Structure formats: structure tokens, C-alpha cells
Structure 1
Amino acid sequence: MPRMQHVESSSVDAVGFDPARNELTVRFVSGDTYVYGMVPRAVFEALLGADSIGRFVNERIKPRHPVRSS
């Protein structure tokens, strides 16, 4: 698992990015953790700068990237 960093969000607790695999790990406040594949670094950086991390995950990550639970 990549190094996780806490984010300010009511639904997402922390995120991490593995550039070697282009995988984004998202740990939700509920404790559930998911790994999204084929995520470019630019998308991860946009996520970190988003006004709403939760909305970004729901609109730009979940519908576009394959997922597995961690």
C-alpha cells in the first residue's frame, strides 16, 4: 500500500498513489479502502487540489477506473 495522506473531507479519510502501478488508494471515513487502477498522476494531483474530495472521487474516479477492495 502506498503512503497514505489525510485529506479534508467528510467522506474520504486518506488517499495514496502508487506511480509505478498507476493505482490510487482511497480510505473512506467508514474504514473501507479501495484501490482504483489506471489512474494517471495528473488525476491524483487534481484530486488533491479539488474543492470537494468526495465529489471528485464520485464523479471522476469511480465511474472511470477499475476498482478492487483492499
Structure 2
Amino acid sequence: MPSTVIHSYQYDPAACRLDIRFVSGETYSYFDVPQRIVAGLARAISKGRYFQSHIRDRFAYRRDRTGQARAAS
């Protein structure tokens, strides 16, 4: 089901980094995200609600001002 909040997301299991691109075009990288959280996001009927409840304000993050996800420095 398409999300009205999240355009796409990508997970790097080696780095435990979740990159989320929002429909606004902004991209954020979230760090130290367990794979179980990402699996929950994949299963969620409402990706936006899941994000609000399980990801936002729970993990360190960085906004990518170029609009593209970047590896952690």
C-alpha cells in the first residue's frame, strides 16, 4: 500500500542505517535501527503511523540536504 508520508526507504543491515525519503522530497538517515524495526515498517499498513510510533524521535538521525541518502561519516 502506498504511503502518503514515506516515498521510499532503504536499509543497510551492515550499518544498521535506515534511509527514508519522504513525499516532501527530504531524505533522512536513521542510525542504529534494528532489523526488527525495519521489518515492522515493511509489514505496516500505515507506514507513516509506524514511523511516528517506532522510529521518529527514537533514533539518532541526519537530514541529507542534497536529497540523497549518504553513508555515515
Determine whether 1:65 maps to 2:59.
Answer: yes
Does 1 or 2 have the higher relative contact order (CA < 8 Å, sep 6+)? 2
What TM-score comes out, normalization by structure 1 length? 0.86
Residue deviations 1:4-44 (CA, integer Å, cap 9, x gap): xxx71001100000011101010000000000011011110
1:1-70 correspondence runs (5 A): 8-70=2-64
- Point out where structure 1 has 5 or more consecutive residues left out of the alignment: 1-6
- Point out where structure 2 has 5 or more consecutive residues left out of the alignment: 65-73
d(CA) in 1 for partners of 2:61, 2:52: 13
CA RMSD, Structure 1 to Structure 2 (Å):
1.1
**How much has 1:58 moved relative to structure 2?**
1.2
Moved over 4 A (4+): none
Query: How many residue pairs align between the two structures?
Result: 64
**Percentage of pairs with the same residue:** 36
